[in-house]
Structure 1
């Protein structure tokens, strides 16, 4: 069972931030298609017999490193977009595996040191009327996306909603080892979302077939108290 609230306290954060205006777009895939992209230490986590891949654009706000007091401004806000799937380590614990991470702030490329697949690019998030728009393109290669959603009413999350949005550790692989990064934040306040426009090539760039089914979409105004823990090898 996936927990709606954080599974652990991050007492010594390596990074603090807010994740705002986040949209979750999910597609179901055959598990073997996703498993082929994972390291041997991880297995695809399934829901209703399918592997799920999430396309999640958002705004990173008030990013600050350890020791920077709250009264000192953090980094300027910038956009980020993740393509992720859901996995379990051989010890049974669930988490995220990132197929790609698009970043508008070059400083975030430092996460490559622990295997995070960060790609610098030109990204934007904007709102007009009742619609939120996301666009992005990599500086190297031709992977890009354009998404326009219309957030709906707040919802009480179902079991599947929680399963798709609430994960409390991320796995990466570097130097022949699996690394784990814990995360803590308040539960996502979720809303329904209608997808008006969705054009993306991130999935095919990651080695997946282009999605053909209608996606499952959610929107959240975000969480403002994100604490990323120290990345460490092993489980």
Structure 2
């Protein structure tokens, strides 16, 4: 497996590995001004030709394991739906998450401990019939009514990704700011093998803090069948 690290050498060994399956990238253009109030001031909103983007990414996570350990038997397999945008800090380009919904309560508690990442427990279902897949998510708590329902059918063949497609997907770190401290988490994986995908979004009430209609248009959509990923220890970002 040819793991990429964003062109940088990691100072410490990876600490966790995970496999992502049946992942769909959904991307909508959005005004940077609409995002700015919800992103830490230390992070610059990353723009492509002057345009900010927001992504919704449903997938299945499995074979989650710590370094030198076998995969977790139950908590290591779950479904996830995240809402994200793209940011820059100290010369790096990466991801900032607004929410990460998962259907493993144990995984949610571990990842959100101390407010480290905005994980939330949700009731998520996925399945397939032939080449068509379904993915639905609704919050387990009534305090946030962010529902999502979609069907998708991947097309055959791997794309030769455009510059924009690579810009949206080839991101090798994330930032989070629990308790007023900004951390970066580096990740490594092979370059994405993207496919075209036909999508049908039946419901999307995610990110209600954004202006109404932000997701009304047809998104850029891509599919990837499998991606093996490694995570590195959090690093306190110095400004």
TM-score where L is the length of structure 1: 0.90
1:15–1:63 Cα contact (<8 Å) kept: yes
Distance in 2 separating the partners of 1:207 and 1:160? 23
Partner residue in 2 for 1:60: 61
Greater share of strand = 1
Pairing 1:160-171 to 2, within 5 Å after superposition: 160-171=164-175
Q: TM-score, normalised by structure 2?
A: 0.88
Point out where structure 1 has 5 or more consecutive residues left out of the alignment: none
Query: Which stretch has the larger CA shift, 52-61 or 117-126?
Result: 117-126
Q: Find the counterpart in structure 2 of residue 84 from structure 1.
A: 84
Aligned counterparts, 1:1-235, within 5 A? 5-7=4-6, 8=8, 12-69=13-70, 75-89=75-89, 91-109=90-108, 110-112=110-112, 113=114, 115-140=116-141, 141-153=144-156, 154-204=158-208, 206-210=209-213, 211-224=215-228, 226-235=229-238
Are the equivalent residues in 2 in contact too, given 1:37–1:207 (CA < 8 A)?
A: no
- Stretches of structure 2 that go unaligned for 5 or more consecutive residues are none
SS at match of 1:203: coil
Give, in angstroms, the shift of residue 193 of structure 1.
1.1
The count of corresponding residues between Structure 1 and Structure 2 is: 228
Q: What's the CA shift string for 1:46-89, capped at 9, x where partnerless?
A: 1132110000000001011233047x867452101110000011
What secondary structure is seen at the aligned counterpart in 2 of 1:162? Answer: helix
RMSD, matched Cα = 2.0
**In 1, distance between residues paired with 2:49 and 2:212?**
20
Is the alpha carbon distance of 1:75 and 1:22 closer, same or farther for their aligned partners in structure 2, counting shifts above 3 Å? same
